[in-house]
Every structure is written in C-alpha cells, then in structure tokens.
Homo-oligomer: A and B are copies of this chain.
Amino acid sequence: MTSDARPDPRWFDAWRGIIFANAKVFRAVEPKLEEHSGISLVFLDVLSRLNDAPGGSLRMQELQDRSLFTHSGMTRVVDRIEAAGLVRREAVPGDRRGVSVVITPEGARLYSEAIERHKADLERDFASRLTPAQIEAVAEALSQFWRE
C-alpha cells in the first residue's frame, strides 16, 4: 500500500544522490562560511562571478543569469552586498539604462580569503568522502550541466 510493486529506476538513485549530496553538504558548509567569513553562499556566489569576470565587473542581468541561487531579485542582493562595501554600482558608458556591478578591493580581498576556507570546508565535507575514481566519474558525468 505504501509503495508500488516496481522498484525505482537506477537513474532515480543517481538523482537522489545529487539532491541529498547538495542539501547535506550545503547544510554542513554554509554555517562555517558564515562564521569564518561573515558572508552567505549567495554573497560568495555573486563575488565569485564578479571575480571571474574580466575587470571584476558584470551587468545586473549577466549576474542574474549566472547566479545559481537567485533567479530574481538580484537588485536587492546587490543592495546588501553593496551596503557591506564588497561591490559598487557604476554607470555603463554607452547605455544609461544599465548598471554594472564592480567588485571592490575589499570585496576581492574578502573573496579570496573566503573561497580558500570554503574550499577547505568542502574538501572535508564532500571530497574526502569519495575515492578519486568516484570523483572523476561524477565530474565527467555532470560536467555538461555547468559547461552549458
């Protein structure tokens, strides 16, 4: 009565693995990030996009498209990060509608420290639980999702 006769297909196990790994590792790692660097994963994500962008600058919409967490509401997220002094808004020369978001020196400094510690956390809570062969297999199988 509680479940159907036929078992779940194998791909469902793979999917379950992904969502559980995602949820469990985030739950473990986000409080640590908050504690040692004082920022949330949303902030780190935005700073990361900016840091990787040429000139440390991106327009609002590019930021929105590339962000993992915030589909909408990038305006307010940038408001908060700007209030923290980690980015600033600048006018776009050619287009007066546009705003480009630039990472500040302070933001870049905080980012590079935060990402290093964050990677150490991830290594402990994620990578160390897998064998090199498993890591390689997962990376290979799922690379299509971030390489668009």
Q: Measuring CB to CB, which residues of chain A are less than 8 angstroms from any residue of chain B?
A: 2-3, 9-25, 27, 51-54, 56, 68-69, 71, 119, 122-123, 126-127, 129-130, 132, 134-146
Contacts and interface: CB of A to CB of B under 8 A. Distances in A.
20 contacts: A3-B51, A3-B52, A11-B122, A11-B123, A11-B139, A14-B130, A15-B122, A17-B143, A17-B146, A18-B22, A18-B142, A19-B22, A19-B68, A20-B68, A20-B146, A21-B142, A25-B145, A137-B137, A137-B138, A138-B141
A21 B69 CA distance: 13
A119 B12 contact: yes
A129 B144 contact: yes
